[in-house]
Structure 1
Amino acid sequence: MDQRTAQGNADMTALPSQEDLRQMTSRWLPPSHGAHPFQIHTDTSDFFRVEYGDVVVLNGHPYLIRHNAKEGRFGIDDDVKFWVKRAIDLKTGDLKILKLVFYEKFTSTIGGIAFECFRSPGKEARILDLVAGQKNFMHGHAIRDQAENLIRVLDFIQGKTLYDYVQDMRLDHQAYFFDRLPAILNNFVECIQAIRFLHEHGEKHGDIRRDHILIDRNSGRYRWIDFDFNYRHRENVYGYDLFGLGNVLMFLVGMGDVLLPELKNQDHPALDRLAEEDLNIVFNNRVANLKKIYPYIPESLNRILMHFSKGANWFYENTVQLLDDLETYQTSI
């Protein structure tokens, strides 16, 4: 008997009975659900078949499937991620996220530089091992199902995304900039230090966005989520992460995206002062030179933003350079 067959047999012998499942799930499912047999999955290859009320068993450990996860994209209706399931660990009662195996790839171009991006469950599994116990990352572990799919079992983090936290503030920009931004930047600097840790260990986040930072409701920590994207680029292996950090920083300083169409709708007086080189190099409808919109932004901070503009003479090559400039700014205020 080969190793895979032995593991498969071990999984089958570990399957809970229908009666056991009815007892274990009674806290979360209505009594009517117990009249129907539970669908038990030890092979999650077809993640569309893993539905609400089903049970996934991984190495003898049962998880009750609740809902598919959703991901909002900055004002766009939530996209359903059918391969990401909210689940309940039936042995502990803890809420978990199960990330099933899903492959996709695309090419992203930034400033004329092409990055080949793709999902890698193995990369995310490596990073989960690497960052276990570290405060600025999500935590969890990886385990293979009976078909050798690498499933990531993640601890659920209660809290808002950084995007929602900033967007929900009801302040004018000047009050936000002087009263709230300093503390937000302190936390974001911790996030950049966490990315530096990944880079120092030869890893990348791969999908740095403001909605991929969760503010933990229990600890107040800013925590990175979703490490499964990887990318290839010959010149600077960490460049894609750095552009992502720049976009998040620009969003934080601007208390949201400062968009050209909105400025035109407002007939904003800064329009006459804006030039092509003042725009974001990744998203050309966003303003990078925020000092032209908010004159009270210090030059030392605006200069950092301009490294992510279409007019930049050079880009940051590593997180150390970005952190040094941010530390200089923070020391000056």
Structure 2
Amino acid sequence: MSSDIRDIVRYYLPKFPINRVRRCLTDTTDFTSIDYGDVIHVGDLHYMVLRDEAERRFGLEDFKFWVKRCKCLETGESAILKLVFHEEFVQRLGPVSIRSFRSETKEARILELVKNDPRFMHGFSVLDEVGNLVRVLKVIRGRRFDMAVQRLSGGHREYFDSGLRNMLELFISGCEGIAFLHDHDELHGDVRRDHLWFEPSAGTVRWIDFDYAYESSANPFALDLFGLGNVLLFVVGKQIYTPGVFNGMEGEDSIVPNDFSLIYKNRLVNLRRLLPYIPESLNRVLMHFAAGARVYYESVNEFLDDLRPCLDELPIQKEES
């Protein structure tokens, strides 16, 4: 290991244990070997690797070994470096199979498109020494939007009376961001509730992770739309209602198979079966994503045209005295 990198770390990050400094890397191809104490040198800046990022899903941490939480030595700012990782799999939308894959060039393109848009994560892209396209992302100071919803106090009725309208307004802002991408012939590609973050200081929501692309011979925006439907289902319900959750609740006996999601067969979409105070107009939007739906949304703007008026039927949150 060159003594030069130790000198750089000692100068910019004097509290970092110098015996833990490993290598200075200009080639990020072997991302699985890059670990704590390595320094990635790209774009004339040095990034100290602190850990692998992880997503928490279904109560488990899913480590993303190609995504590194770093500190830029020259600026002192935290950053997330996404390295090139090629992955491909098939998703199903009802009876349709859709080939999905990671594309670093797509994500770089969208980062440039949304660089001044507060509805998205921000960052830039730079090539390493061998041509890998590294995305350098700013850290969002906030939490997942679904966790912000979940943390609101009280049961669902209290949430409906005092929190749902505000949360739905934020979600609509997020939907408008996806519509902006579609208007520019871009896809998010992986719309999930853990990919929408709430930033309290700005009072806004931001989408993260744009590197999934997919091929579809039908509506190219269908997966993004159904992803929005799944997020809306959580926002309206404050949780996802599955048979294990609604077992024993009043209204359970009225549920029929067509009340469940077209994609996730155990997720109840017709929430008015259990929560009859939800306005019919809002429940009708949800039902476009149900197994029994006869008409599906063709665009996010069509979805928003139905969703925005629902705000007027929700209680306005009272100001705290």
Q: Deviations over 1:247-266 (max 9, x none)?
A: 000011011101112223xx
The aligned counterpart of 2:12 is 24
What is the letter of the counterpart of residue 234 of structure 2? F
How many Å apart are 1:51 and its aligned residue?
A: 0.7
Distance 2:268 2:11 in 1: 57
Residue 37 of structure 1: how far off its partner (Å): 5.5
Q: Tell me, yes or no, if structure 1 residue 323 matches structure 2 residue 307.
A: no
- Give the letter aligned to residue 14 of structure 2: S
> Structure 1: which 5+ runs fail to align?
1-14
Question: 1:237 — aligned with what?
Answer: 220
| 8 Å CA contact retained: 1:213, 1:223 | yes
**1:328 partner letter:** P
Q: Which residue is 1:297 aligned to?
A: 278
Deviation at 1:76, TM superposition (A): 2.3
TM-score between both structures, scaled by the size of structure 1: 0.91
* Residue of structure 2 equivalent to 1:160: 143
SS of 1:198 mapped into structure 2: helix
Deviations 1:128-172 (A, max 9, x none): 000011011000001110111110000001111012112223311
Q: What is the percent sequence identity of the aligned residues?
A: 40
Q: Which runs of 4+ in 1 moved over 4 A?
A: none
TM-score (normalised: structure 2): 0.94
The counterpart of 2:152, out of the listed 166, 169, 193, is 169
- Structure 2 distance, partners of 1:320, 1:185, is 16
Cα deviation 1:80-129 (Å, max 9, x = unaligned): 11100000111110000000011111111122122211111110000000
Q: Give the corresponding residue for 2:259.
A: 278
Structure 1 distance, partners of 2:110, 2:295, is: 30
Q: Which of these residues, 19, 34, 39, is aligned with residue 50 of structure 1?
A: 34
- Residues 115 and 240 of structure 1 are in contact (CA less than 8 Å); yes or no, is this contact kept in structure 2? no
Q: What 5-or-longer segments of structure 2 have no aligned partner?
A: 315-321
Q: Name the SS of the counterpart of 1:248 in structure 2.
A: helix
Matching residue of 1:224: 207
Give the C-alpha shift of residue 300 in structure 1: 0.4
Aligned-residue Cα RMSD (Å) equals 1.4
Alpha-carbon distance in 1 for matches of 2:238, 2:255 = 19
Retained in 2: the 8 A contact 1:68–1:80? Answer: yes
Q: How many residues get paired?
A: 312
Q: Is the 8 A contact 1:261 1:285 kept in 2?
A: no
Mapped to 2, the partners of 1:210 and 1:294 lie a distance apart of 22
Once the two structures are superposed, the pairs formed by residues 177-192 of structure 1 within 5 Å of their partners are: 177-192=160-175
Determine the structure 2 residue equivalent to 1:66: 50
